[in-house]
Amino acid sequence: MITQAQRQQAADALLQAEIKRQPIQQVSKTWPEMQIEDAYAIQQLWAEGRVKAGARVVGNKIGLTSRAMQMASKMTEPDYGVLLDDMLYPDGARIAASRFHAPRLEVELAFVLGKPLGGSAGGPKITIYDVLDATAYITPALEIIDYRTEVPRAITDTIADNAAAAAMVTGGRVVKPMDVDLRWLGATLSKNGVIEESGMSAAIMGHPANGIVWLANKLALHGTVMQAGHILLAGSFTRPVNIAAGDVIHADFGPLGSIGVSFS
């Protein structure tokens, strides 16, 4: 474990790395005693710093939802980060690639809550039925992930760095959670007219809502309840694709429509 002062120093360093677009040394190397609990505390301090600067929390993202990614990161569960209002882009957006250091893009589903979801640490566990009941609608989404530290990274580096969350794009067709079989939503991801990745939403822990279940119960341990209107990125069901200035991205979700975005 590291001290609260060291946690704040790490959060401040990550904030400066984001502002300057200049990656810093891995925080796990600067503070080798850092543990997972420290990493989430640093993430929270980072988010508080962004809110003080004018950003607004609009939800959460979930990462490491596939068993392969957990094994690669030596984890036995997913991780999570915070979504802020200045991370959101609409379908058709033209995004400056210079905003990021080494951006990559993933295909996801976004759950938008219609009512609060969560509980207390000692209360009943959130179930998949609670998640579906609390979800107003689901929409196709893309997540842009980025690194604000050098690589290779330990899992504590990734978590402290907001689970690599940098931006997200939503679009396509809005659906209610009971109107489709959420396990069998597929998508292809094209870059500059070439299909780079494809996947099926069942790859997210067997059912994309299971990631939201895990998140709700994890946050409940800290007394955090997700609010109505919050956007929850359920996790990627494709491998990340590198992006750079000049790239044009198209994600086709079949009956759920498509998302297009370009980078300048």
Instruction: Tell me the two tokens of residue 163.
Output: 């689970």
Residue 73 pLDDT more than 60?
Answer: no
DSSP per position, 48-74: HHHHHTT--EEEEEEE--SHHHHHHTT
Residue 68 pLDDT more than 60?
Answer: no
Q: Which residues pair with 252 in a beta bridge?
A: 188, 258
Residue 163 pLDDT more than 80?
Answer: yes
pLDDT of residue 103: 95
Nearest Cα residue to 254 out of 188, 191, 201: 188
pLDDT of residue 100: 94
Q: How far apart are CA 142 and CA 69, in angstroms?
A: 18
pLDDT of residue 67: 64
Tally of residues, the chain:
264
Instruction: Tell me the two tokens of residue 230.
Output: 């919050």
Strand order in the sheet with 94-95: 94-95, 258-263, 248-252, 186-191, 194-200
Residue 3 pLDDT more than 90?
Answer: yes
Residue 205 pLDDT more than 70?
Answer: yes
Residue 65 pLDDT more than 90?
Answer: no
**pLDDT tens per residue, range 103-140:** 999 999 999 999 999 876 666 789 999 999 999 999 99
Q: Using a pLDDT cut of 90, give the percent of the chain over it.
A: 86
Average pLDDT, the chain: 93
| Average pLDDT, integer, range 146-164 | 94
Nearest Cα residue to 200 out of 183, 213, 212, 225: 183
| Average pLDDT, integer, range 31-36 | 96
Residue 85 pLDDT more than 60?
Answer: yes
Q: Using a pLDDT cut of 70, give the percent of the chain over it.
A: 94
What pTM did the predictor assign?
A: 0.94
Instruction: Tell me the two tokens of residue 223.
Output: 């007394």
Residue 178 pLDDT more than 80?
Answer: yes
DSSP per position, 134-186: HEEEEEEEEEEE--SB-SS--HHHHHHTGGGEEEEEE-S--B-TTSS-GGG-E
Domains, the chain, in order of start with CATH, read 56-263 (3.90.850.10)
